[in-house]
Amino acid sequence: MNLLILIAVLTPLGVSNFIIKNAIKMLYQQQVIRECTEQIEAKPKNPNHYFNRAQAYKEIGDYNAAIADLTRAIHMSPNSPQAYLLRGTIYYNLKDYQNASRDFSAAVRIKADYADAYILRGNIHRKIGELPLAIADASAAISYAPDDVQAYVLRGKCQQDLGNCDYAIEDYSKAIQINPNYANAYYFRGNCYHSVDQDGEAIEDYQKAVKIAPDSYSGRLAIQRLKNLGADIVSPETPKRAIDVFRPKIPSKAIKKHFVKIWSEVTKR
């Protein structure tokens, strides 16, 4: 079943955007896996094919297959920081923080300015209570990628954990300045304001988080915070169609040609 048929079947049935989006994603990634497998059979010593298939396996939740492919890719190309980063991310999702941290460290050894690796390793340091190391990693990421909102939010959360709300608010505000539609930053900054009895500012931030992303984890928590504070819950922004939200990366010319044809038909609806 191609994407056009899938959407044509599901949309009239009143299926939610969330379900349609995930169905599209699953179907698309399965197509990627099939093509990458054909490429591997034709050129089994090309690490890029294993890496691309691993990305698709990760997206559909087949973490063991993804790790196996990435291990092969790393064996063939041991100086690929992206392969270490992706495998580390999968280990992180599996809560195998030791292997995840090892892979993120390998990535920054190969590519010293790899901001994403510092952020991900910093998240592990924070999760296991190593806050100074987490702050150091977040600061390193900021030095290499000063517009990365994730780095500011990570450092802000660490400062918040340490009770340094002024520093935390400063980092969250910087993240919001870079990306005014980042709901998480509003929610976390709202928590800081609430902890220092600035409930007016907290309510504004919670309302902004709800308006931007009401169905996100931060959005749902913000709604509960607003209820606890007896504040109004604002109406969310108009949701986008699943077909507008889902714009996958196209890893190959063959899939791109097939996908663009379907996409042009779907977006005419």
Domain 1-112 has CATH 3.40.50.880: no
pLDDT tens digit sequence for 31-43:
999 999 999 999 9
Which pLDDT band holds residue 267 (cuts at 50, 70, 90)?
Answer: very low
Structure-token pair, residue 4: 């056009």
The pLDDT assigned to 257 comes to 54
DSSP 3-state of 246: coil
pLDDT tens digit sequence for 148-177:
999 999 999 999 999 999 999 999 999 999
Q: Rounded CA gap, 158 and 163, in Å?
A: 9
- Model pTM score: 0.79
Helical pair 253-266 and 17-42, crossing angle rounded to 10 deg: 160
* Percent over 70 (pLDDT), the chain: 80
